[in-house]
Amino acid sequence: MRIKTVPTQPFDDQKPGTSGLRKKVKVFQQPNYLENFVQSIFNSLPVDQGSSLVLGGDGRYFNREAIQIIIKIAAANGFGHLIIGQGGLLSTPAASHLIRKNQASGGLILSASHNPGGADEDFGIKYNVSNGGPAPEKFTDEFYRQSMLISEYKIAEIDDIDLDSIGAQQIETFKITIVDPVDDYANLMNQIFDFPLINKAIESGSITLCFDAMHAITGPYAKKIIEEMLGAKPGSVINAIPLPDFGGGHPDPNLAHAKKLADLMFSAEAPTFGAASDGDGDRNMILGNHIFVTPSDSLAIMAANAHLIPAYSQGIAGVARSMPTSQAVDRVAEALDIACYETPTGWKYFGNLLDAGKITLCGEESFGTGSNHVREKDGLWAVLFWLNLLAKTGLAVGDIVQQHWQKFGRDIYSRHDYEAVDLAIVNSIFDHLREQLPGLTGKSFGDFTVKFADEFSYQDPVDGSISKNQGIRIGFEDGSRMVFRLSGTGTVGATLRIYLERFESASARQDQDAQIALAKLIDLAEQLCEIKKRTGRSAPTVIT
């Protein structure tokens, strides 16, 4: 195999964010841009002839071309075996499972998650380590350091690989295995959940459903599992064909972007259950007939009912949530007398807790939930969890939520996103908030008295590593809370996220509309951060 060494120069914008490196497609298409970043990753890793790598992506624009480039760079850098999803496709949780199942040294996942796709939209790449989870900061910091030092990359001069034929291909000592992207994952789900019970409930008509794959990666997975294995009628999975531009849609499973599904679930024709997943299959939205289940509530309900699911019937070790996620799961953990951890946003922070056996379930308010079956959040797993729960209890989604609130109380919760804000303005907002922090504790604002105000810092209980500047928290004496955080998932400007929650224990007041119930807290958040005043905007871009 002939190896070519190509001189190159660093790019100054290859610092990975929360979930890898995300940029516009045209940025990645620049000469040497993708090559530099991949070589920088490989320069950071111990690679030998026995090393294996899982490779795949969500099928967005530039996915296939990028995979061919990565194959050649991996061959040149001494990898012995690549495991690639057919057609270059792999959902993020399926990739995590393949890394773990094959004891691979890691994996490269090509995705910008819930961001739009297409020639003028977003692309992304991230490295997952040998446990199947996203690379921790010590890895991504080294990737960035190497990207600033790089002077050359190595690439094998071989023909493009046939990505569409399942089976093994050999180039000298370099082996490539093309696998069905769905089979191993579907088998894993069958081991976790009671498929016969769910099938019986679907065939009897007690569960009717609609799953919106949003023309993203979970389409083939949902067709195989929900329609073929569980017996849902054909067409139960909509927008099932993955498209490079996601059909012109925004593959973010929330009420704003999965509007067709949301409209159906709040109509007279609503099935009993609705769900959606995102671009790479790691996020989920859960709905019932005329009800939307917030991701924070979904995590708490899963924790409270995990004993009803076969894989978790013996109990769960503990739970974890990202800091901005509501405290609903904390109340469940207290009732179950299990540990509950509060981590920064980013699935990588759950990895050590899962590996150490400290937690079984974890989740984020940004529509992500998961368990110890993989080391990524898993959208379809969450959907199957809810289907299993519906089949086991015989209750409707709304009834399950109401019963949970009656037992544990309701954390009324909302997130306000201000997207594509000029970074200088966002920085000025955070500087303004930081200046106020020292004098906020004990201060009263109408109904609210500040109990604590800080900038969240996290010390990992397993390895002792510290992550600072993870968002500004302001908590109040009545248990209400607001959080201000800069999101790292966008590719244009900056996204300021404001998280608001208020606890309601009285059953008679638990059905309030969240925006009405949180109105005073919303006004106070604006008073403290001046987002509308400083941006000139009259409302958030998205409210969830």
On whether both 520 and 373 belong to a single domain, the answer is no
On whether both 403 and 488 belong to a single domain, the answer is no
On whether both 402 and 434 belong to a single domain, the answer is no
On whether both 20 and 133 belong to a single domain, the answer is yes
Q: Which sign does the torsion angle of CA 327, 379, 83, 491 carry?
A: negative
On whether both 264 and 386 belong to a single domain, the answer is yes
- pLDDT confidence band for 111 (50 / 70 / 90): very high
On whether both 278 and 419 belong to a single domain, the answer is no
Cβ proximity of 63 and 85 under 8 Å: no
CATH of the domain at 105: 3.40.120.10
- pLDDT confidence band for 17 (50 / 70 / 90): confident
Among residues 385, 408, 431, which one ends one of the domains? Answer: 408
Q: How many domains does the chain have?
A: 3
Mean pLDDT of the 144-164 span: 98
On whether both 404 and 450 belong to a single domain, the answer is no
> What is the full DSSP assignment across 259-288?
HHHHHHHTSTT--SEEEEE-TTS--EEEEE
Short-list 251, 217, 482, 487, CA closest to 346: 487
Q: 414-436 pLDDT, tens per residue?
A: 999 999 899 999 999 999 999 99
On whether both 169 and 281 belong to a single domain, the answer is no
Q: What residues contact residue 159 under an 8 Å CB cut-off, 6+ apart?
A: none
Strands 167-171 and 209-212: unpaired
What pLDDT, on the 0 to 100 scale, is given for residue 397?
98
Q: What is the rounded average pLDDT for all residues in the chain?
A: 95
Q: 292-341 pLDDT, tens per residue?
A: 999 999 999 999 999 999 999 999 999 999 999 999 999 999 999 999 99
What pLDDT, on the 0 to 100 scale, is given for residue 185?
98
On whether both 370 and 514 belong to a single domain, the answer is no
Within 21-62, residue ranges assigned H as helices are 25-28, 33-43
Model confidence at 515: pLDDT above 90:
yes
Q: 40-97 pLDDT, tens per residue?
A: 999 999 877 679 999 999 999 999 999 999 999 999 999 999 999 999 999 999 999 9
How far from chain centre, in Å, is Cα 212? 17
- CA–CA separation, 324 and 451 (whole Å): 17
Short-list 433, 448, 438, 441, CA closest to 496: 433
Q: Could you give the count of Cα atoms lying within 13 Å of 127 in the half-sphere of its Cβ?
A: 28
- pLDDT confidence band for 491 (50 / 70 / 90): low
- CA–CA separation, 472 and 499 (whole Å): 10
- CA–CA separation, 24 and 336 (whole Å): 45
Report how far apart, in Å, the C-alpha atoms of 381 and of each of 238, 324, 454, 477, 527 are.
Answer: 18, 22, 35, 37, 40
On whether both 31 and 176 belong to a single domain, the answer is yes
- CA–CA separation, 245 and 116 (whole Å): 7
Read off the DSSP letter of residue 354.
H
Q: 338-358 pLDDT, tens per residue?
A: 999 999 998 989 999 999 999
What pLDDT, on the 0 to 100 scale, is given for residue 341?
98
Look up the domain containing 122 and give its range. 3-181
Among residues 151, 181, 211, which one ends one of the domains? Answer: 181
What pLDDT, on the 0 to 100 scale, is given for residue 488?
59
pTM of the complete model: 0.94
Model confidence at 221: pLDDT above 60:
yes
- The CB density around residue 203, as the number of other CB atoms within 10 Å, is 13
On whether both 345 and 369 belong to a single domain, the answer is yes
Catalytic residue, chosen from 113, 236, 277, 480, is 113
Mean pLDDT of the 99-115 span: 96
Q: Which residue has the tokens 């075996």?
A: 81
Known active-site residue 296: no
- The CB density around residue 199, as the number of other CB atoms within 10 Å, is 17
Short-list 390, 368, 372, 364, CA closest to 380: 368
What pLDDT, on the 0 to 100 scale, is given for residue 139?
94
Mean pLDDT of the 246-268 span: 95
CATH of the domain at 457: 3.30.310.50
Q: Which sign does the torsion angle of CA 379, 381, 385, 386 carry?
A: positive
Cβ proximity of 412 and 131 under 8 Å: no
Q: What residues contact residue 342 under an 8 Å CB cut-off, 6+ apart?
A: 320, 321, 322, 323, 458
On whether both 394 and 422 belong to a single domain, the answer is no
Among residues 181, 198, 226, which one ends one of the domains? Answer: 181
